[in-house]
Amino acid sequence: QAQLVESGGGLVQAGGSLRLSCAASGLTFSFYATGWFRQAPGKEREFAAYISTSGGTTSYADSVKGRFTISRDNAKNTLYLQMNSLKPEDTAVYYCATKLYSGTYYRSESYNYWGQGTQVTVSS
């Protein structure tokens, strides 16, 4: 069955960087647009970044634009999120997900397969 596994989270000081990875298996990864979402304690899950099947189109939430970069390697069935200039408000569990063919890219309801999440904690 389809499986997404995130890695690369951890504890970092404000201003630092982390690179998240999401390894996909059990599905044809290149067929799916994908995205990163995050959920902070006590808050709803929110959109962070989106990338099309080929990687030619990307989109970001305003809160991460200019600091985060989403990319993918279809040959390795892997999605990435490079996070720079991290802020304490970036602290959250980060999830990768594959998008359904229809639906709005920034809405979680538009995604079908989800990873288990990886914790990112940014200290001030």
Q: How far apart are CA 52 and CA 99, in angstroms?
A: 9
Tokens of 57: 């189109």
* Model pLDDT for residues 88-117, shown as the tens digit of each residue: 999 999 999 999 888 899 999 999 999 999
> What parts of the chain have a pLDDT lower than 50?
none
pLDDT of residue 100: 86
Nearest C-alpha neighbor of 17 from the set 64, 60, 68: 68
